[in-house]
Amino acid sequence: MTDNPPRRLVVVGASLAGLRAVEAARRQGFEGRITLIGAEEHLPYDRPPLSKAYLDVLDDGDPQIPFFRTEDTFREELRVELMLGAAATGLDTDARCVIVGETTVPYDILVIATGAGARSLPGTDGIDGVHALRTLDDARAVREALESGARTVVIGAGFIGSEVASNANKRGLEVTVVEAMPTPLVRAIGADMGTAIAALHEQNGTELLCGVGVSKILSDAGRVTGVELADGRVLPADLVIVGIGSIPATEWLTGSAVRLDNGVFCDEYLATGVPGVFAAGDVANWYNGLFDRHQRLEHWTSAAEQASAAIHNALHPESPKPYATVPYFWSDWYDSRIQFVGVTDADEIRPVEGAPGADRRWVALYRTGDRITGALAVNGQNVIMKYRMLIMRGASWAEALELAEKRKVAAGR
């Protein structure tokens, strides 16, 4: 650290990134005051299980809430001042303080880790039974509805919505997924692979309607009764899940000196250009030198890594380290694990194991120029990280195909 070390660290966002920032600060020797500000009243919790294990029909009784740490751990071991249930409302970078309602919280170092919120469907405010799935409170309401046997409509065939559809299907409930695009998951994994992944719905008996929008949500006495589609069809529903994307949680930064551009705009060190201010997690739009582009990732792995990197760079400005990564995400649909590493814009996408959309297990590789830049696997847990390592070190397309061929020989195919 410097000769005059910072004394006050403020982390805004009681998220995975927020937690990892706090832990990294103590691990890296920060002895000053730490304040963690969170809009939700809950301690930081793990979000991916909310649409997976938390909703699972096999979980008897009350499911375990996926909290990361206890309150005692925060207060006694990490020595953190918790300000939960109190959203940040502004930032004064000249005075170096975060504004929370009528309270100001001074900082020497600020880590912005406010994540992203669900994009809402117009005209649904105040209608019971219409939910996004971003928070613990959302998950509790959705699980209760599924347990009551709700007829379910999922708007948006993305990963979270499809995970909810999978859990509804496991319970034997009537469930329909509605996707406005002709092909699901185009931005996430490409058109051809989106079609292949979407086949999991049909294979498991879930109705998937593509290329049709939603006209309006129907309700009676403030309670959802159905979804009217743009073509006039009406889908009866007791539960509607809205999974149409997310919006970076940056409203509180409007008017501040922090640059906003699809989140908080950062350099390769996760620094915002404003003295002492860094960002991490879903809200950070940072420069990823590995792919020579700015990216905003809503992925568990990168959120955890970015927080630690941001703290290092904040505490050690004399020796900052750029953060670069191969993006990685996973999703569980029915009895299948979907995993993707890398980036999706590619000159070629080639299946190298199994038949996408037909076989239970398959792998496809993404090529840009003469390099492997992405890999998609369904039930390929034992190989996906090998391709991630190839991408990380800038391996050639030929090397990737060689690995795929060796696996075929080893499997006797």
DSSP element (H, E) containing 198? helix 191-203
pLDDT of residue 49: 81
CB contact burial 197-223 (16+ within 10 A = b; e otherwise): bbebbeeeebebbbeeebeebbbeeee
Region label for 183, one of left (φ > 0), alpha (ψ between -120 and 50) or beta (otherwise): beta
Angle value at C-alpha 102, between 96 and 103, nearest 5 degrees: 45
Q: Is 225 buried (19+), middle (13-18) or exposed (0-12) by CB count in 10 A? A: middle
pLDDT of residue 56: 78
pLDDT of residue 60: 55
Q: DSSP for 242-294, please give it.
A: E-S-EEES-GGGTTSSS-BSSSEE--TTSB-SSTTEEE-GGGEEEEETTTTEE
pLDDT of residue 343: 94
**What amino acid is encoded at 359 in this protein?**
D
pLDDT of residue 57: 61
What gap in Å lies between CA 155 and CA 169, rounded to an integer?
A: 15
Q: What is the DSSP letter of 74?
A: I
pLDDT of residue 413: 61
What gap in Å lies between CA 332 and CA 262, rounded to an integer?
A: 27
Q: How many residues does the chain have?
A: 413
Sheet with strand 264-265: strands edge to edge: 264-265, 284-288, 293-295
pLDDT of residue 410: 80
pLDDT per residue rounded down to tens, the chain (413 residues): 555 778 999 999 999 999 999 999 999 999 999 999 999 999 998 888 888 777 876 555 667 788 999 999 999 999 999 999 999 999 999 999 999 999 999 999 999 999 999 898 988 988 999 999 888 899 999 999 999 999 999 999 999 999 999 999 999 999 999 999 999 998 889 888 999 999 999 999 999 999 999 999 999 999 999 999 999 999 999 999 999 999 999 999 999 999 999 999 999 999 999 999 999 999 999 999 999 999 999 989 999 999 999 999 999 999 999 999 999 999 999 999 999 999 998 999 999 999 999 999 999 999 999 999 999 999 999 999 999 999 999 999 999 999 999 988 887 66
pLDDT of residue 64: 79
pTM: 0.92
pLDDT of residue 39: 95
